[in-house]
């Protein structure tokens, strides 16, 4: 794995479309949905060698995020994340058959699990899952028979907070954001998932509508049953409050010393 010069695999998806079959709750076919893929926002390839695969560190994969929109309703803007198996280091130009021998099912996709759980419970605290497709690559794919998964979720108004922006706000506006965040978190928590990267960038703030949502589920943490009860410590985890004496014994007990 060459982390200094990683390959990017999914650049050719820009400007293309993907059609995703649709089914009713009873499994009956419905009209398919086509999504137009716009510009790529990021790609994070993870290529490994056969030696590392043998040690359980595989498979080689790449994950990319794109802007996209519905072909039938171009005003409906969304994000798309693509999870795709790619060849091991040094095998990129092997024969179709040789690359196909590397094919494996997709490892557990926690992001898809989380977004589906939010949708099942009609959770409004997160951007809504619009569509998804779990498939296999054809003979022209990077790894024929290997996995490829598409996740599409709505692009909502507002922007992700930053540390500088939040702490330059007046105390009343910060208090308002914290109140909205608590409401969002308490709706999210019973679904059993939250972002692993818990900081201000996981908070979407729509000032015009006075609304906060939580995002960033490419890596998720499980909220076990019984632990979905609110504590002001959650504020500190997401960077909304600065506690004094962090990591000292009992730091979470003396809220008077916290900087709100």
Task: Examine the pLDDT at 42 and tell me if it is beyond 60.
Answer: yes
Domains of the chain by range and CATH? Answer: 10-154 (no CATH), 159-257 (1.10.510)
Kind and range of the H or E element at 112? Answer: helix 110-120
Average pLDDT over residues 181-193: 98
Predicted structure pTM score: 0.91
pLDDT tens by residue, 194-253: 999 999 999 999 999 999 999 999 999 999 998 899 999 899 999 999 887 666 666 666
Residue 65's alpha-carbon distances to 27, 42, 59, 68, 196, in angstroms, are 29, 5, 19, 10, 18
Task: Examine the pLDDT at 4 and tell me if it is beyond 60.
Answer: no
Contact 66, 82 (CB under 8 A): yes
Average pLDDT over residues 168-190: 98
pLDDT tens by residue, 96-109: 999 999 999 999 99
pLDDT band per the 50, 70, 90 thresholds, residue 5: low
pLDDT tens by residue, 128-171: 999 999 999 999 999 999 999 999 999 999 999 999 999 999 99
- Identify the pLDDT of residue 259: 85
**Tokens linked to 95:** 């024969």
Task: Examine the pLDDT at 2 and tell me if it is beyond 70.
Answer: no
pLDDT tens by residue, 64-75: 999 999 999 999
Q: What are phi and psi of 110, to 5 degrees?
A: -70, -35
End-to-end Cα, the chain, rounded Å: 44
- Identify the pLDDT of residue 254: 67
Which residues are CB-contacts of 113 (< 8 A; sequence separation ≥ 6)? Answer: 193, 220
């Amino acid at each position: 794995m060459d982390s200094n010069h990683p390959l990017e695999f999914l650049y050719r998806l820009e400007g293309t479309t993907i059609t995703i079959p649709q089914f009713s709750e009873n499994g009956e076919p419905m009209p398919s949905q086509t999504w137009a893929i716009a510009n790529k926002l990021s790609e994070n390839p993870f290529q490994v060698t056969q030696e590392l695969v043998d040690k359980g560190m595989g498979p080689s994969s790449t994950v990319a995020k794109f802007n996209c929109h519905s072909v039938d309703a171009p005003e409906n803007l969304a994000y798309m994340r693509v999870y795709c198996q790619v060849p091991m280091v040094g095998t990129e130009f092997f024969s179709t058959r040789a690359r196909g021998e590397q094919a494996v099912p997709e490892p557990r996709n926690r992001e898809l699990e989380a977004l589906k759980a939010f949708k099942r419970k009609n959770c409004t605290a997160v951007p809504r899952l619009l569509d998804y497709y779990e498939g296999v690559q054809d003979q022209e794919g990077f790894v024929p028979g290997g996995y490829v998964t598409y996740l599409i979720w709505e692009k909502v108004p507002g922007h992700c907070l930053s540390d500088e922006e939040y702490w330059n706000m007046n105390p009343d506006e910060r208090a308002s954001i914290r109140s909205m965040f608590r409401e969002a978190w308490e709706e999210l928590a019973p679904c059993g998932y939250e972002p692993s990267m818990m900081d201000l960038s996981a908070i979407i703030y729509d000032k015009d509508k006075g609304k906060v949502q939580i995002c960033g589920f490419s890596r998720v943490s499980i909220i076990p049953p019984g632990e979905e009860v609110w504590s002001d410590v959650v504020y500190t985890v997401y960077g909304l409050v600065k506690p004094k004496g962090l990591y000292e014994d009992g730091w979470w007990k003396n809220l008077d010393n916290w900087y709100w």
